[in-house]
């Protein structure tokens, strides 16, 4: 893209797309108590809404790669935003739980297109600083969560129907879709080899599975806090909707700060160091949260948890792209990002349902005890990844010396 002004406009719309993607993901969590009252659902059914949405999202992630490779990113990234808007508006009119889930599955389909193609678009616009701009772009996801949670929490406290909130979110996604429609995109680079062949080639790389495990664990942690924080506050600390929504705001705001911070640190230390340090902080903080009895204490630990969780999704993607393309067999970045996003969506979608089932069988606090276990597993995976990266660095230096 030669026109720098067009690129700047597309950057802004890309950030707005992250905001609306976040809004479509968080709106159920913020409105869950009200939705549960409307349809008389339990915790597992509430968490199941996110699982159903994420299942469709996962499917569309895979489809998006093949479609974008043949016809380009723009039309399907734009279609994704129209689908998000349609699903949200339909959900606002759902007369029962089943139709609500079906409407949100449409939203999930749009989210799949968006998640699949936003990251490759950022890399296409900023190929030399992908780690920096991926973190900056993804920082607007928690910005979207903050804005949506503040707005929706306040409206719920004012007794505005959750259905109206879904309509507001749908209108926002529609605006982004229109902007994507009219703005020019960087030219697509189409691959001659088949999508299935490239897909299989990445799956055959042992190192890919390390990054996939890392992003799944990081996404699981993020969704646990994002989806259940408002309900946790309502169950143990305060029954005021604003107080629960503010918990989501604090977590997401800390994530936004953490992602901007990770973008700042990306050129000053290794990405793996940033992630390992974050995960260790996460172990300590998340282990303390279930024992917190005051709202202020919960807010404080949640802020630290947001900082600890912030970097994983975008940084793992940047690290994987750098590592796998440094080897002799280069990979298609779009397909790599899609496959990593699939792993992330699995972790993101399953965790709310699992914690909901634990909450139904015991209590929601018991479900939160799972989170430090996830952080611990993530540290182990990241240390294995560090070993692979060091081995690859030595190999590259040896090849340069031989040349």
Spans of all domains in the chain: 4-182+194-402
DSSP annotation of 294 reads S
The correct CATH number of 4-182+194-402 out of 3.30.420.40, 3.40.1410.10, 1.20.1250.20, 3.40.50.300 is 1.20.1250.20
- DSSP string for residues in 180-220: HHHS--PPP---SS-HHHHHHHHHT-HHHHHHHHHHHHHHH
Closest CA to 223 of 103, 314, 309, 343: 309
The sign of the torsion formed by the CA atoms of 28, 369, 52, 256 equals positive
The sign of the torsion formed by the CA atoms of 191, 7, 19, 165 equals negative
pLDDT for the residue numbered 61: 80
Given a cut of 70, the residues of the chain with pLDDT beneath it are 1-7, 128-131, 188-195, 266, 325-331, 389-403
Q: Where are the alpha helices (DSSP H) in 93-161?
A: 97-125, 130-157
pLDDT for the residue numbered 1: 45
CB 224 within 8 A of CB 351: yes
pLDDT for the residue numbered 199: 76
Local structure of 185: helix, strand or coil: coil
pLDDT for the residue numbered 283: 95
pLDDT for the residue numbered 213: 93
pLDDT for the residue numbered 203: 82
**pTM to 2 decimal places:** 0.74
Supply 168's token pair: 């507001």
Angle between helix 97-125 and helix 333-361 axes, rounded to 10 deg: 150
């Amino acid at each position: 893209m030669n026109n720098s002004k067009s690129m700047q406009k597309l950057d802004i719309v890309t950030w707005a797309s992250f905001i609306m993607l976040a809004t479509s993901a968080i709106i159920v969590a913020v409105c869950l108590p009200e939705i549960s009252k409307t349809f008389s659902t339990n915790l597992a059914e509430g968490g199941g809404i996110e699982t159903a949405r994420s299942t469709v999202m996962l499917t569309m992630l895979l489809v998006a790669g093949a479609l974008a490779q043949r016809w380009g990113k723009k039309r399907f990234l734009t279609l994704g935003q129209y689908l998000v808007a349609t699903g949200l508006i339909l959900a606002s009119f759902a007369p029962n739980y089943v139709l609500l889930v079906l409407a949100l599955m449409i939203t999930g389909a749009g989210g799949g297109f968006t998640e699949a193609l936003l990251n490759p678009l950022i890399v296409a616009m900023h190929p030399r600083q992908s780690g920096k701009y991926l973190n900056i772009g993804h920082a607007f996801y928690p910005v979207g969560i903050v804005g949506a949670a503040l707005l929706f929490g306040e409206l719920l406290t004012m007794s505005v129907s959750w259905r109206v909130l879904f309509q507001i979110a749908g209108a926002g996604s529609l605006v982004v879709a229109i902007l994507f429609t009219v703005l020019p995109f960087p030219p697509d680079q189409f691959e001659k080899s088949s999508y299935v062949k490239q897909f299989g080639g990445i799956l055959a790389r042992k190192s890919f599975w390390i990054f996939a495990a890392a992003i799944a664990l990081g996404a699981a942690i993020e969704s646990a806090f994002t989806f259940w924080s408002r309900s946790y506050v309502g169950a143990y600390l305060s029954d005021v909707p604003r107080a629960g929504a503010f918990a989501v705001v604090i977590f997401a705001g800390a994530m936004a700060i953490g992602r901007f911070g990770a973008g700042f640190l990306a050129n000053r230390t290794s990405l793996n160091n940033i992630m390992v340090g974050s995960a260790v902080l996460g172990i300590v903080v998340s282990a303390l949260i279930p024992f917190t009895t005051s709202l202020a204490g919960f807010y404080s630990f949640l802020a630290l948890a947001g900082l600890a969780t912030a970097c994983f999704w975008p940084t793992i993607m940047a690290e994987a792209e750098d590592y796998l393309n440094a080897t002799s067999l280069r990979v298609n970045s779009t397909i790599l990002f899609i496959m990593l996003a699939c792993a992330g969506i699995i972790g993101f979608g399953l965790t709310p349902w699992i914690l909901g089932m634990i909450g139904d069988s015991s209590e929601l606090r018991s479900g939160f005890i799972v989170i430090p276990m996830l952080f611990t597993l993530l540290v182990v995976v990241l240390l294995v990844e560090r070993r692979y990266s060091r081995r690859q660095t030595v190999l590259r230096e040896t090849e340069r010396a031989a040349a």
